[in-house]
Amino acid sequence: MYAFERFILYLKSCVRNRNRPEGCIAESYIAKKAVEFCTEYLFEVDPIGISSSRNLTTDDTKASKIIEGRPLAGGKVVQIGSLSWEQAHLYVLHNTQDVLPYIK
């Protein structure tokens, strides 16, 4: 089933009053988005009906402010020095199109 078909199926399941389906769909969709938005800021609450992120490890009991995922395959931590970091930072700044107006 395509993503569009799944979304339409979800919207059809939101209809409670068949006389006014648009209002039911809009109300249900807005309520779901509001709950999802609020649960991002309530870290100690386990929401019902909203799936947790796949990037969270299984031993996490509470979501933290910064969600760190796990690597897809064999990731390793790399430490770089401040000089290398500054060089990389300058390289990105000088080769990004969004920064060019500020340089001129």
Residues in CB range of 39: below 8 A, 6 or more apart: 45, 47, 50
How many structural domains does the chain have? 1
Spatial contact of 44 and 60, defined as CB atoms under 8 Å apart: no
What is the percent of the chain where pLDDT is above 70?
67
Range of the domain at 83: 3-103
Spatial contact of 17 and 24, defined as CB atoms under 8 Å apart: yes
**Of residues 23, 49, 50, 47, the one with CA closest to residue 11:** 23
pLDDT digits (tens, 9 = 90+) for 17-65: 888 888 888 998 888 888 878 777 776 666 665 566 655 555 545 544 4
* Strand residue runs (E) in the chain: none
Give pTM, 2 decimals: 0.39
